[in-house]
Structures are given as C-alpha cells and as structure tokens.
Amino acid sequence: MSVTALRGAAITFRDDPFQASPGDCLVHEPDALILIEDGRITAFGPYADLRESLPEGTLVTEYKDAIISAGFVDTHVHYPQLPMIGAYGEQLLEWLEKYVFPVEAKFADPEHAAQVAAVFLRELLRAGTTTAAVYCTVHPQSVEAFFTESARFDTRMVAGKVLMDRHAPEVLRDTAQQGYDESAALIARWHGRGRQHYCVTPRFAPTSTEAQLEAAGALLKTAHNLFMQTHIAENRAECAWVEALFPERSNYLDVYAHAGLIGHRSVLGHGIHLAEQDFCTCHATGAALAHCPTSNLFLGSGLFRLFDAMDPRRPVRVGLGTDVGAGTSLSQLASLNEAYKVAQLTGRRLSALQSFWLATLGGARALYLDDRIGRIAPDYEADLCVLDLKATPLMRFRMPFCESLEDQLFVLMTLGDDRVVRATYAAGHKVYDRDQGCFIYAGRHDPC
C-alpha cells in the first residue's frame, strides 16, 4: 500500500479552547511529518522522530512557509444560492422572496444543478473546506447533483433536500407526503454511501406545516445516524412570524422539539435571538448551532452570542457556517474575520486558537463527526489544508512582525481568504493545488 508523506509546520487540537486553557488544547509541531495510508493518517509527530519510519523510496511533499491544518468544516451552507451571492439590499424575509426563491426554482433542471454543484464543490476545496452541511433545494435532482460531485472528490459531506410545503412559490413547494417519500428515496440511495451523509432538511418553521415537520421527525427514525438541519431565530421578524404561526408552542425551538427534530446531529442555523432556556435545551439534547457571521452582518440580522452559547456551565456545540448566498464568502478564514468582529461588538474577544478550533474540530464536533475528521491524529481521515503564510504581498510583509504562532494564525484569519490555501487533501488525496492551478480527481487535473 502506498504511503503519502507531508512535511511542514502543523497545528491541530486535542480539546476545546473555550472550555480549557487554549495552550493546553493546541498541538503545534514546527516541523511535522504526517504519514497517510488508505485515506487515513497513520502517524503524526516531529519529523526528526518519524523520518526513520518512512518506507524506503517514499516521496515527502514539503510545505515551507506554511501551516498544515485539518480541513475546514462548514456547518451551514446553501449551494444553490451561489449564483446570487452578494445580492443587494434586503433583510431575511424580503431577501428570500426577491432573490433566493427565483434562483432555487432553476434547480428543477438537472443540468443546471450539476453545473452549480461542480462550481460550488470546487470553491469549497479552493477555500480549504473538506466537510460541509449543505442545503440543496426542494428538487431531488439537486441532491443527486451535489452528492455525485462530492463522491467524485471523495469528500465527507452532509446534505439533503429542502422540505417546504407552504409560504413559498408553488414551483418550490412539496407536500408532507411527497417530501417524506422523496427524502426516503434519497436516504436509501446516498446515506452512508462512501463518505456521504443524508440530512433531513426542513427549511425553517414558516415554510413547513406542522404535518411536514412531524413527517421530518419520522424520517429521522428511518435510518441510523441521519442528520437534521434547519434555521432558527435568525431575524426578529421571522421570530414574530413563527410565534404567530405556532401559537400553541412555547417558543421557536419548541416548534422543532415537538416534532422530534432536536437531538444529536441536529444543526440549527444562526440562533441569534435565542434565550438562555434555548441554550439550556440545546446543551441537554446535544443539538448544535451554526454561527454564520458574514451572513448575519450582511443581512443585518444581529449578533450571535458565541460566548453565551459556549458558557462552560452548559456549553452548546457550535460550528462555523458561511451560509452563502447571504454569506459573502465560502472561505472560513473570512468567516473567522467577521466572527472576531461580532465577538468584539458583544464585548468579548475571540482568540485565534478558539477561532481555528471552531473551523476544524469544533465544527466536526457540532456534526458528531469528531471521531474521524477535524484533527490531525492517527486513525483520523486525512482531510487537510495547507495555509500559505506568504500568500499575498501584504501577508509576506506582515508575517515577520508576528511574535508567536497565535499572531500568525490571527493574521491568517484577518488578512486571509481562499488565496491562502495552497493545497487541499480529501481522504489523503490532493484534490486542489493552488500553485499548479488545478483540481484533481480520478486521475484528472481540471484547471481552476
């Protein structure tokens, strides 16, 4: 069996820097060797200690002036919205009507879905993201297109068909039964196939009847370890609408809990306007929140209270999401840049170590995949990204003034974007090479 060997400075995490001393959580190897076989990491440690274990003739790929990290994890993103990223001038509900629904209606065409899925997957890899929780559209063919593209690159992805049986254009509505049947067929076809996971995906409470939400809860019982994703408490007008639509429920979160949608592998997008009792419920049930700072700022939705969610007395699982198209970049470095600013506006300081944990192991933990991704460690899947410390002229100038690793990481997340990612590996295979200008799969090299 062939061995892939990477050498360079590397960082990863052994624990949560929100709950323990950040320095104790970090693993930093200034000159690391990472050995990979059959898609998994078999050894990780100082090059000086491991070089003698290299099989004879093994080619070592060395990355200088760079940091090797676990691949980034995006816990909330809409791939069909890529064609309208950066759309001007609306808040959430108006934005959906004006931009999102017309764009998503085009995914009735399987060829269009395949084209957008191909661009989206490649843009994720260009940004160093190797796992994402992805919303498709109401059309089953949008899910087929996405999983087909993910399987091509052997990326570990979580995705599902949107369920939406009211308060949307007729061409984007299903019914409770249709949504159930189409989702069940997609589950049978894709869940657990290779590195693909199916996610039951009611868009949000206003666009699903109670019957559809209950059908979604029933779907979760049909296969082992299914995921669930939806939106919650993103916008104050949305929260008021949910209160009017579900007057018998005690709050927004209770709408989903009543339908059996809250538990392990449930990922709730945004959560800006949640109360303390909601954080307590998420902690008790194991449900996760996806923090989407570029989206929340772009739509003027509000400021997510990250440190309240992560309160050590009852910590909630939190990952980072780009959202797109409300978010303005698929780069998790750009997300961290805005997350730092959101924290500042709430009177807190988000450190570089906390940030990179959110983008890697924290995101994996939010998705209950932290036993296999999100770390550089033996037996973990070899999903990696290589971050160039001198990716731009400004960064090349700035880095020599950094006095610590934390300084370097902070510069990466405040000045960096997809240009920083020099290479991305999925299951041990290099799938993106910035310097060669190509994406790589099944022996093919596609130009960027």
Q: What is the 3-state secondary structure (H, E, C) of 376-397?
A: CCCCCECCEEEEECCCCHHHHH
pLDDT confidence of residue 139: 98
The answer to whether the beta carbons of residues 35 and 54 sit under 8 Å apart is yes
SS3 annotation, the chain: CCCEEEEEEEEEECCCCCCCCHHHHEEEEEEEEEEEECCEEEEEEEHHHHHHHCCCCCCEEEEEEEEEEECEEEEEEEHHHHHHCCCCCCCHHHHHHHHHHHHHHHHHCHHHHHHHHHHHHHHHHHCCEEEEEEECCCCHHHHHHHHHHHHHHCCCEEEECEECCCCCCHHHCCCHHHHHHHHHHHHHHHCCCCCEEEEEEECCHHHCCHHHHHHHHHHCCCCCCCEEEEEECCCHHHHHHHHHHCCCCCCHHHHHHHCCCCCCCEEEEECCCCCHHHHHHHHHHCCEEEECHHHHHHCCCCCCCHHHHCCCCCCCEEEECCECCCCCCCCHHHHHHHHHHHHHHCCCCCCHHHHHHHHHHHHHHHCCCCCCCCCCCCCCECCEEEEECCCCHHHHHHHHHCCCHHHHHHHHHHHCCHHHEEEEEECCEEEEECCCCEEEECCEEEEC
Query: ω into residue 325 within 30 of 0, thus cis?
Result: yes
pLDDT confidence of residue 314: 98
**Selection from 287, 292, 357, 367 nearest residue 326 by Cα:** 292
pLDDT confidence of residue 52: 94
**CATH class as words, domain 4-71+375-447:** mainly beta
Fold of 72-366: TIM Barrel (3.20.20)
pLDDT confidence of residue 276: 98
Domain residue limits, the chain: 4-71+375-447, 72-366
pLDDT confidence of residue 1: 62
Asked if 4-71+375-447 and 72-366 have one fold, the answer is no
The residues near 137 (Cβ < 8 Å, ≥ 6 apart) are 80, 104, 107, 113, 161, 162, 172
What's the residue count for the chain?
448
For residues 66 and 391, give the distance between their C-alpha atoms in angstroms, rounded to a whole number.
Answer: 9
The answer to whether the beta carbons of residues 105 and 96 sit under 8 Å apart is no
pLDDT confidence of residue 59: 95
pTM over 0.75: yes
- Averaged in consecutive runs of 10 residues, what is the pLDDT profile of the chain (448 residues)? 93 97 96 98 98 94 98 98 95 96 98 98 98 98 98 98 98 98 98 98 98 98 98 98 98 98 98 98 98 98 98 98 97 98 98 98 98 98 98 98 98 98 98 97 92
